[in-house]
Structure 1
């Protein structure tokens, strides 16, 4: 099992929490309309960002390994959650590549982006989530 991720409430704000991932700290909040202060990305934003980051990192790693001259990678992800309650959550990603790349290299990198681990996790794997109560402190 990996190192646990811990989320702790920031009591200085109505809804904000602080996410601790290894030695990294990220804020999480909800919009003003949802009772927060929009002082950080929402959980949906973090989920979507995981996909974008995975695609960007995977493409850059692959390009470097294969000596493909990518200068920069940017991934834009747009969410359509209009049917989420009906079991459909749509994410549309756009891969922006810069560098002296041939059309074949660009297509190769597009294919690599669709194989990033988070993309596979979101589309090919059954995720099982369990939730338990911690022991109460004495």
Structure 2
């Protein structure tokens, strides 16, 4: 499905993330000992969800012949009393969409591929590289 590679190039917590021909810098903010040179891990988490949100809704709207205009999604995270992560999305579109279209978009956004994976969790394994 997807593959990324991360390389620690310093200073402190700055890392280069590579996916094919693309790269992103990850870091921690200065308040956590980083340099603020890139997005922090939970920002990358929200970025993945926001990208999937925007792409899925754009694809859906195009298929329906709806004009989203400029679309943006604002995501924020917090923790509840049990320390579970809560993510909230606020969706904006400059296109002239009626209430029925918006309700359909809000239904579709609940089933984007990344939304579903984040809700169900993932099996994560690790191993030491040979050599």
For the aligned pair, the TM-score class normalised by the smaller chain equals over 0.9
**Of 47, 50, 66, the match for 1:49:** 47
1:15 aligns to what? 13
Q: 2:102 aligns with which of 103, 106, 115?
A: 106
Work out the CA distance in 2 between the residues paired with 1:23 and 1:5.
11
Task: Find the residue that maps to 1:78 and give its secondary structure.
Answer: strand
Q: How does 1:1-138 map to 2 (within 5 A)?
A: 2-11=1-10, 13-81=11-79, 86-123=82-119, 125-136=120-131
2:69 match: secondary structure? strand
1:121–1:73 Cα change, 3 Å: same
For the 8 Å contact 1:56–1:74, the answer to whether it is kept is yes
SS at the partner of 2:84?
coil
Aligned length: 131
SS of the residue corresponding to residue 90 of structure 1 reads strand
The 8 Å contact of residues 75 and 93 in structure 1, kept in 2 or not, is answered as yes
Tell me how far apart the structure 1 counterparts of residues 33 and 130 of structure 2 sit (CA, whole Å): 29
Moved over 3 A (4+): none
**CA distance 1:58–1:3, shift in 2 (3 Å):** closer
Q: Any gaps of 5 or more consecutive residues in structure 1?
A: none
TM-score (norm 2): 0.92
- Say if 1:3 and 1:22, in contact at 8 Å, map to a contact too: no
Q: For the residues of structure 2 that align with 1:91 and 1:66, how far apart are their CA atoms?
A: 28
CA RMSD, 1 decimal: 1.5
